[in-house]
Chain A
Amino acid sequence: MTFTNSLELLAFHWVAYTIYAAMILSVIAWFGYNLTRKEAKSVVRIPFYWYMAFLVAGGVGHHIFTYNAIPWVSQDISRHSITPDATYDFEIKKHKWTLPQEKITIQCNQKVLFNVKSHDLTYGFGLFRQDGTMVMQMQVNPGSRNDILWTFSHNGVFNLVSTEYSGPDMYDEETGEDLMEVKKFIEVVGCTNGGAA
């Protein structure tokens, strides 16, 4: 199983966690009901060491699963040894972006490096689809490296948003509008996959 974008990953996550939540609440409810009954018998006996082994397997297995199923994990870890197809440098100062160009068009499956420098505060760098769902994001700290290598495998048009709060000045005082949001900043073209990156 491989997820090609955040939409697929989060849809899977939504289903898996909802099933888990319903299950744990049902177990506790069943448990609570049976605590009051003298005749209640254990449905299954859970051996302690198997239970512990299950938790260890769950905790470690989750990371092994995501490492293999989510493409951006291994790419992120080894990004310094990968030559990007394109690099875009951004700067932020006093809640204002200095953008590499007015709009960016990216070809499908290109490996793109986004390099962001903050001159004052901690900001965020996030790309969002037109329906508000998140493609990806990273923190942007002043004084340290903030770069992310990303491969887009679906077409789409994305807004650029600072995903970290950097004080009330990032909003319009009266209307509350996000002054750092750059609408329809990136467009990905050339993918044959459906959906959005």
Chain B
Amino acid sequence: MSFTKTLIHGTNFDHTGLNALQKVTLRAVVVAFLFYGLVAIEGMIMRMVATGPLNPLPPMFSHPDHYFSIMTVHPIVGIFGSTYQLVFGAFTFLVPYLTKKPLYSVKLANVTWMLITLGTVLAWLAAFIWQYAPLYTLYWPLPADTEQFHIVGGIVFILGVALIMFGTFGFIYNIYATIFARVGVHKDKTTKELLISGFGIDGLLNLINKLRGKQPYTKEPALALPVVAIFRGTVDTFLDALVILGAGILVLVFLLADMAGLNWDVAAIDALLYKNFFWWGLDLVADGLVLIYVAGSWYLLATLITGQKLFMENVARAALMLELLVSWMVWSHHLLGDQGQPEMMKLISGEMVTAFELLTQGLALFITLVTLWKARPLKMTMELKYLLGGLSGFGLAVPAAIIQADMGMNRVLHNTQWIIGAHVHIALIVGLYMTLYSAVYVLWPIVTNNTKLYSTKLANTHFWMHLIGGIGMGAFMGMAGLDGMLRRHLYVDGQFQFDMVMAAIFGTMLLVAWLVFLFNIIMSVGLKGLVGIFMPSHDSTASYGLEPEDK
């Protein structure tokens, strides 16, 4: 087949054969990867600026207004526009697939991805047009500082974030409505039984009964383990959305008051209390839903790749509950540099409880690795490769986080490039994204009706460039942090030039890796297929692989 023909028609992808569930999943995934590209470009702009005199970009990119506008939307587009969409899309498919029930509402799933997309675009426009740049931290009262920022920009930004949160609520409702629907295999289950399973209490009771030499509480838990992880992680997703929406409303009220000519005193809101409230919610993303969703994804991928039962499943179920509780009590590690924060909170929440994440994530790593090991020999498939990449990412990033969540280390690491490079970017780009890529390759034949991937060579190229680029960029940013480079600071004089040039080179690898991946996917589904994904489905089925009587 000629290049042009493949570009237009793909390999053997037929969008007309996709049902409503498959299409809505793919829509979210496509948008997620487009936003990923935007994030990679934004990231590269900032990496280039940080190289100082070697920066090849026009001077406007080094202007503080412009630079910090990019820094403000970079995490919004990356976390919500890309990661949330990708995760929500995958779980919207997986929950009905694993529970063998139809999705509660395909319409709601469509509204979800559209709201998040629109919200992300609005937030991006607020920064692009009005250069609204309070950063994602929104430290009070900066987002309401109308002497530095245009009011309209602030309002548009907050509306954008609010739409993202409303989309998130839509996802949450859809997931829980599907899990609690008493149809199909759950026809005879009570809400109580589903709740017990969702919170992993059945796993805990099984462990207790085993210790007491009694019969297991249940041999067949009502919900599969990955669904339990989705159930638990979604609790944090909900709480996090409430907090972000709450902060957004506060900012919006002050901006509207300013617009109306009312001179409200921003000091009426205690900045440190607000910081605690905001970090409690925001940290539910980083240390809550991400870690829980990731653990669940590892368990799912390990069982799908090996075709075997998960090692120590009851422990894994019970540990997910622990992870949820831990995630509610660790936010103070973001406030170790705040001297007004009570020392006890720093010690208990910031240091001790945070250290538990080493335990919960280490446990997930152990269970996943043993499950894989017991099933050897395994074929080194794309999904296995990416899963190992994801495990490496968290293997690097979680200890980096525990190191900095310490009162001694934080004094010289807080707000440095160490945190955003060695911890955040390695956790997200290597840990999370490689896990998600693994899920993409596992689900690819199911969601696309066995569409042939255009090129395995390109898939391998993407894997290595992404892995090396991600670790390399994070490592050099981290080293710059150890040398004193701050993370939310503008350096135009090339002060940390060597590290920044190296980080830019590895960052370029990440950008090229994304282009390679995108090209491979477009060549597989074709431009026609890509557009077709967004056309209405002829088949309204909201489930996958169920016999008609089960639907």
Contacts and interface: CB of A to CB of B under 8 A. Distances in A.
Contacts of A135: 412
A173 interface: yes
A172 B396 CA distance: 37
B492 A13 contact: no
Interface string A109-144: 000000000001110101011011111111101111
A58 interface: yes
A85 interface: no
B68 interface: yes
Interface string B353-394: 001101100110010010011001111100011001001100
B339 A148 contact: yes
B355 A59 contact: yes
Interface residues of B, number: 83
B466 interface: no
A52 B358 CA distance: 10
Nearest to A67: B408
Interface in B123-154: 131, 133-135, 139-142, 145, 147-149
A132 B62 contact: no
B496 interface: yes
Nearest to A51: B366
B267 interface: yes
Nearest to B72: A165
A187 to B, nearest CB: 18
Max chain B C-beta neighbours (<10 A), residue from A52, A56, A168? A168
Interface string A48-66: 1001100110111011001
B241 interface: no
A4 interface: no
Contact of A163 (B67, B351, B415): B415
Contact of A168 (B68, B340, B471): B68
Interface in B39-74: 62-65, 67-68
A144 B271 contact: yes
B340 A132 contact: no
A126 to B, nearest CB: 8
A62 B409 CA distance: 10
A36 B412 contact: no
A152 interface: no
Contacts of B272: 141, 143-144
Nearest to B375: A35
B340 A134 contact: no
B101 interface: no
B139 A164 contact: yes
Interface in B275-326: 275, 312
B496 to A, nearest CB: 7
A178 B403 contact: no
B484 A132 contact: yes
B207 to A, nearest CB: 13
A107 interface: no
B376 A55 contact: no
A138 B338 contact: yes
A63 B406 contact: yes
A88 interface: no
B355 A62 contact: yes
Given A36-B376, A52-B363, A144 B340 contact: yes
A35 B135 contact: no
A99 interface: no
Contacts of B402: 58-59, 62
A169 B339 contact: no
B379 A165 contact: no
A42 to B, nearest CB: 8
Contacts of A25: 392, 395-396, 471
A113 to B, nearest CB: 11
30 contacts: A13-B403, A24-B396, A31-B373, A32-B385, A36-B379, A36-B380, A48-B366, A52-B359, A55-B363, A56-B359, A59-B355, A63-B352, A63-B406, A70-B408, A77-B343, A120-B266, A121-B142, A122-B271, A132-B495, A134-B416, A137-B414, A138-B339, A141-B272, A146-B338, A146-B339, A167-B145, A171-B490, A173-B64, A176-B63, A176-B490
6 closest A-B pairs by beta carbon, nearest first, are: A59-B355, A144-B340, A70-B408, A66-B408, A165-B488, A168-B64
Given A76-B407, A173-B65, 4 more contacts: A17-B400, A121-B145, A167-B148, A167-B149
